[in-house]
Amino acid sequence: SQQGEEDPQALSIQEGENATMNCSYKTSINNLQWYRQNSGRGLVHLILIRSNEREKHSGRLRVTLDTSKKSSSLLITASRAADTASYFCATDRGNEKLTFGTGTRLTIIP
């Protein structure tokens, strides 16, 4: 069963705007990770946030984690055409495996 569920399933925004994607999960976690997948390619790791962290930044990415609500959000600021991709959250429960959500498909309109 899926541990993570992303919302929305698809998102289209104008270039330069901010994009926010959300992830909800079901059980306690050690950390939560976000990945990006360009069309026809493998997933690429973006950022990891541990269960004892509430917010983390990396370049134009900002991730928040609310363990009480079992949810996370990924914010991409000042979006670019190259950000067009699918984004997945993945949860690590410390059992040697990552469980992925179903993804958000982001389209940046030039």
Partner 1 sequence: DAGITQSPRHKVTETGTPVTLRCHQTENHRYMYWYRQDPGHGLRLIHYSYGVKDTDKGEVSDGYSVSRSKTEDFLLTLESATSSQTSVYFCAIRLNLDRGGGNTIYFGEGSWLTVV
What residue ranges bind partner 1 (CB under 8 A)? 1-2, 30-31, 33, 35, 40-45, 48, 50, 88, 90, 92, 96-103
Least gap, CB of 80 to partner 1 (angstroms): 23
Gap between the Cα atoms of 14 and 32, Å rounded: 28
Least gap, CB of 110 to partner 1 (angstroms): 26
Question: Measured in whole angstroms, how far is the alpha carbon of residue 106 from the centre of its chain?
Answer: 11
Least gap, CB of 78 to partner 1 (angstroms): 25
Least gap, CB of 60 to partner 1 (angstroms): 19
Phi, psi of 99 (to 5 degrees): -115, 125
Give which of 32, 13, 21 is closest to 86, Cα–Cα.
Answer: 21
Look at the block and give the residue holding tokens 């498909």.
105
Nearer to partner 1 by Cβ, of 2 and 18: the residue is 2
Give which of 32, 8, 31 is closest to 20, Cα–Cα.
Answer: 8
Nearer to partner 1 by Cβ, of 20 and 51: the residue is 51
